[in-house]
Structure 1
Amino acid sequence: MTEDEPRRATFRAVADEVRKSIQRGTYAPGAKLPTEGELADQLGTNRGTAAQALRLLASEGLINKSRRGMFVHRIVNKIVRDSTSRYVRARREEGQARGAFEAEIRGLGMTPSSITTTQHTQPPAWVADLLGVDGNDVSTLARVRRMLADDVPVQLATSYLPLAIAEGTRLEEIDTGPGGSKSRLAELGHAQATITEEIDVRPPTGEEVEALDMREDQRVYEIAHIGRTEDGRAVEVTVHVLPTHLWRLSYSWPLGPTH
């Protein structure tokens, strides 16, 4: 056993105690936590160990540090992104929701909102290849969204749609209506029959740290979402960026005969 191991175990034990207090509701979402010194006195440890424990909880996204002190994050329980059902039309349009995210967040008892911009743009090369558009020209409509739950930024999403399909349609509007872009694509004759999602976990960029109110030592899920029509044509590519400490990804599917 090295000299550092007992101290490391101690600060993790302190972190466990604070984490349990948050989970029990002793410290509610958004509540201010005791200072390092106060916490050390309460738990019978020293200030340095308490500081290490709080840094660990901050890296996990459970607490935030500001000039006014340490506060419990306003979202303590992870948001479940159920990719199996979120794109079913009835689910997307439930309660006149403007797409899967809005329905998802409402279903969890939180208030969804988003800041959306749209623009004609030259897509990244890999997006152009998937959509079958010219990657050297302004050939897509980009819908860029910063998405919030109870005013907490929880996701960034950029959707690319072929300009030949989207130009001059409601897809160019900030509010695409109930069901979001997938419902509007279906009305235009481009209903999506299959969806592919490729997931990576990576550090956030500087812009993402700022936009999602994160720390540089935290991680994000990057989900490349591709929607294809019955004939296999890709008509939508969306890049979702979600803090891993705020989200849990859920997938399920039926299995065919095993013999």
Structure 2
Amino acid sequence: MSSGNPLDESALYLRPAESGQGDAWSQATARQGRVGSQQLLHAGEVSAPPRVAASLGLDPGSAVVVRRRLVLLDGAPAELTDSYFPLTVASGTALAYPRKIKGGAVSLLANLGYVARSSREDVTARPPSPDEASALAIHPGEWVLDVYRVVVDARGEPFEVTTMTMPARERTLHYTVEIG
């Protein structure tokens, strides 16, 4: 997601890339004449936070795989993103290791049989923590948006929870809701 343009459309980041293409963020920013990149801060097993465990249908404190990233737009911090996966999905896969995934995680998940059928997103605004303000270069008095996304497959089973924290300035999140 990014500032006030089609980079903020959630659906862009839930579709697998076509063979030979990069991750969705790099592709979306390139179409806008910009440069999107990510720094992988951590990848591996952690205890699921309570809300994540509940969203994935796991017992509190269950082990999950997390991929923590600092998302950059034109070299500047744009968002902190943590993606959580049940061990049944991610253990032993490239998701669990601290390296770039060719084609991105969404394409890897699709190759493993996990294709997003739908997602639910909760969006809240709040003041940043001191660590978030530092990592995202947020000025005093500015707020962040938190996006909490649960992704489910065709069977209605959740297989990913992603939390995104981004500066609220100049952000517009785009959603299309189909009725009926």
TM tier relative to shorter chain: 0.7 to 0.9
1:202-225 Cα deviation digits (max 9, x unpaired): 111111100000113111110001
Q: CA deviation at 1:94?
A: 8.3
Amino acid at match of 1:87: L
**Hey, what's the Cα distance between the residues in 1 that align with 2:15 and 2:115?**
12
1:175-209 Cα deviation digits (max 9, x unpaired): 1221x222212211222211111110111111110
Q: Which structure has the bigger radius of gyration?
A: 1
Give the CA RMSD over aligned residues.
Answer: 2.0
Partner residue, 2:77: 153
**Hey, what's the Cα distance between the residues in 2 that align with 1:94 and 1:202?**
39
Instruction: Give the TM-score, by structure 2 length.
Output: 0.88
Deviates more, 1:164-173 or 1:116-125: 164-173
User: Which of 178, 198, 221 is the matching residue for 2:145?
Assistant: 221
**Hey, what's the Cα distance between the residues in 2 that align with 1:84 and 1:158?**
17
Q: CA deviation at 1:161?
A: 0.4
Aligned residues: 176
Q: CA deviation at 1:87?
A: 2.5
**Hey, what's the Cα distance between the residues in 1 that align with 2:14 and 2:60?**
28
Q: CA deviation at 1:128?
A: 0.5
Partner residue, 1:128: 53
**Hey, what's the Cα distance between the residues in 2 that align with 1:145 and 1:241?**
11
1:71-124 Cα deviation digits (max 9, x unpaired): xxxx9x7454012444233xx4487122x3222222221111211020210011
Q: Structure 1 stretches of 5 or more lacking a match?
A: 1-74
Percent identity between matched residues is 28
Q: Structure 2 stretches of 5 or more lacking a match?
A: none
Amino acid at match of 2:29: I
Q: CA deviation at 1:136?
A: 2.5
Deviates more, 1:192-201 or 1:247-256: 247-256
**Hey, what's the Cα distance between the residues in 1 that align with 2:176 and 2:19?**
21
Q: CA deviation at 1:135?
A: 2.2
Alignment partner of 1:140 is 2:67: no
8 A contact 1:154–1:246 mirrored in 2: no
1:6-55 Cα deviation digits (max 9, x unpaired): xxxxxxxxxxxxxxxxxxxxxxxxxxxxxxxxxxxxxxxxxxxxxxxxxx
